[in-house]
């Protein structure tokens, strides 16, 4: 049986392991640790099966800036599932649970820089037509946004600025 729950202090090493194995390196694991240590890991959920942590998803705040205006959104990054457990729906469950947690916390706008074939199934759509830019260079189709409240982006645009930790990771 698969359970999705918030991370606890004793899960930190296993979360590192999942990210290292899924991404084949330490960059994303380091990113998660750095966000956590600075207190900006807003949401960190794990997928647990038979007592083993096999998946992880994180969200952190971003600022959407335009001229003198600025509003807050949240970004989904990173998400990781241990290679042996991929393509079994675990990533999808993590995304859905993470988005529900975002809703519960009152977040209205989620951005993601990721696989363009993966995220549209959760409602994400390209940012460009909505006037939402990215501080990093990204292919238009990989830079996506989701409104958790319909109309949340109405009359708003700008460029997304990530937490500084992302500058070493992207
Ligand atoms: C991306 C990831 C989290 C998805 O988790 P998962 O448990 O395998 O996902 P699910 O089983 O819910 O969904 C599987 C779907 O995702 C797609 N998918 C998985 N990895 C993908 C990838 N690297 N690129 C594009 N699509 C991918 C599969 O094609 C499959 O699509 P289908 O349902 O149309 O066949 C997982 O593959 C992973 O950890 N990858 C390595 C790390 C990574 O790339 N993270 C995302 C960075 S944006």
**Domains in the chain, ordered, with CATH?**
2-168 (3.40.630.30)
**pLDDT at 58 > cutoff 90:** yes
Token code pair at residue 61: 């705040």
Ligand 1 binding pocket includes 117 (Cβ within 6 Å): yes
**CA pair distance 83, 40, nearest whole angstrom:** 27
* CB contact at 8 A, 75 and 111: yes
pLDDT digits (tens, 9 = 90+) for 93-139: 999 999 999 999 999 999 999 999 999 999 999 999 999 999 999 99
**CA pair distance 45, 116, nearest whole angstrom:** 22
Q: Which of 56, 77, 91, 98 to mutate to test the pocket of ligand 1 (most atoms within 8 A of CB)?
A: 91
Ligand 1 binding pocket includes 90 (Cβ within 6 Å): yes
Band the pLDDT of 43: cuts 50, 70, 90.
very high
**pLDDT at 168 > cutoff 90:** no
Closest residue to atom 35 of ligand 1, CA basis: 87
pLDDT digits (tens, 9 = 90+) for 78-98: 999 999 999 999 999 999 999
Ligand 1 binding pocket includes 98 (Cβ within 6 Å): no
């Amino acid at each position: 049986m698969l359970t999705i729950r918030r991370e606890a202090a004793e899960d930190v090493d296993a979360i590192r392991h999942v990210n290292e194995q899924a991404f084949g390196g330490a960059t994303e694991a380091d990113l998660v640790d750095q966000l956590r240590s600075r207190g900006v890991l807003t949401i960190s959920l794990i997928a647990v099966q038979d007592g083993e942590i096999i998946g992880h998803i994180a969200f952190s705040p971003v600022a959407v800036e335009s001229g003198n205006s600025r509003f807050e959104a949240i970004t989904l990054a990173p998400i990781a599932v241990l290679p042996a457990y991929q393509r079994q729906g675990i990533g999808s469950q993590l995304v859905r649970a993470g988005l529900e947690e975002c809703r519960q916390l009152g977040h209205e706008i989620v951005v993601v820089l990721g696989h363009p074939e993966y995220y549209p199934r959760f409602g994400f759509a390209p940012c460009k037509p909505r006037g939402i830019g990215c501080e990093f260079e990204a292919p238009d189709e990989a830079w996506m946004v989701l409104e958790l409240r319909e109309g949340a982006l109405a009359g708003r645009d700008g460029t997304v600025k990530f937490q500084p930790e992302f500058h070493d990771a992207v």
